[in-house]
A and B are shown apart, each in its own frame.
Chain A
Amino acid sequence: MADDRINLEQSTVLLVDDTPQALDMLGSIFQGFGVKEQIKRPSAVEAVKVLQKRPVDLIVIDCGDPEMDGYAFTRWLRRETPAPMRYTPVILVTGHASQSKVQEGRDCGVSFVITKPLTPAVLLKRILWLARDEREFVECETYVGPDRRVRNFGPPVGMAGRRKGDLSAHIGHAVEENMDQADIDMLLKPQRVTL
């Protein structure tokens, strides 16, 4: 993918917003981006019905409907749909995030949260980032979604890792004999290489 180009000519985007004008504006932005198809729905419940019939390539949602908001929708997508649909990237757009929703945004499994002001430039950057996203998909009892560790420094300090690749924080006794000093010297000694 060239750094200065974006190709959405084959992509179908599901846009969900409970404010009709905002939904129209999102549609205009994606029309400008040149997507193949956009499906617009005024509620998360309607969006669920779409996904029960067909897959999409990207979901952008801004929905505060108490029946099912953007966070609940993402949880449903990540936990109740089969692969590969459950891996579909989700960008959650929010105007003002109420105090009670801040942690929910982190834990529901969205690929990105974008807080307004939302400009086409910001949205483009996030979509490009998603195209290069190499984060693994994590599934456990308390979380299903893209890895929240954008930089993997291992499990949080003082906590045991829960992934196969996590190293133990405990340093135990040596399991092999110490190396002989002569062997260490040999490792460090510069030697001529014959090619």
Chain B
Amino acid sequence: MTEAVTTKIQTSLAQQMAQPGGRTLSDVERRANERLGHHRAEVMAEIEAAVAGLEALCAARPEASAAEVYRLASRVVDLAGFFDTGPLFDAGYSLADVADRMTSADAWDWPPVQVHVQALRLILNAGCERDAATDQLLTGLKAVAMKARA
């Protein structure tokens, strides 16, 4: 077993941030949120396309499509994760997790995927608002995911 060598460092980032000046945290956060907001419409269209892709896969159920389901679910998560899309992010994450675990266990099953994709469509159509109905939907997805992992 080798001995670990430890070094005390100060990064250039830390040195630069220690300089006086800059902006207030509330100011930079506001500016960043404003700029991020400009992407929302384009990103929601991309998410819509990914969900449509998942629906097409569920309808055709082609062989060896687990990786594609995971890729599209991850795409929903990656893009939705920049905004407050509440239940959409959670449902996308749950689908990615289910697809990953079923692939790892070599136990692919379409019904859990189908249920998740239907939930994603319902949430999208409802404008990604979190309410009692979407809470119930997510609780249902949790149960489906638990069963798929078992």
Q: A residues within 8 Å of B by Cβ?
A: 1, 4-11, 19, 21-22, 24-25, 28-34, 55, 57-58, 62, 64, 84, 87-89, 95-96, 98-100, 116-121, 123-124, 127-128, 130-133, 136-141, 143, 147, 162-165
Main secondary structure of the interface of A (DSSP, over half): loop
Q: A4 vs B46: C-alpha distance in the bound complex, in angstroms?
A: 36
A4 to B27, CA, bound (A): 10
B79 contacts A34, C-beta separation under 8 Å: no
Q: Is B34 an interface residue (CB 8 A)?
A: yes
Q: Which of B59-115 contact A (CB under 8 A)?
A: 70, 73-75, 77-85, 89, 93, 96-97, 100-101, 104
Residues of B near A55 (CB, < 8 A) are 12
> Considering the chains assembled together, what is the distance between the CA atoms of A29 and B4 in angstroms?
37
| Secondary structure of the B contact surface, majority rule | helix
The answer to whether A164 touches B17, judged by C-beta atoms less than 8 angstroms apart, is no
Could you tell me if B78 and A95 are in contact, using CB atoms closer than 8 angstroms?
yes
Q: What is the CA–CA distance of A29 and B22 in the complex, to the nearest angstrom?
A: 16
State A133–B8 Cα separation when bound (angstroms). Answer: 11
Q: Cβ of B8: which chain A residues have Cβ within 8 Å of it? A: 136-137
Residues of B within 8 A of A147 (CB): 6
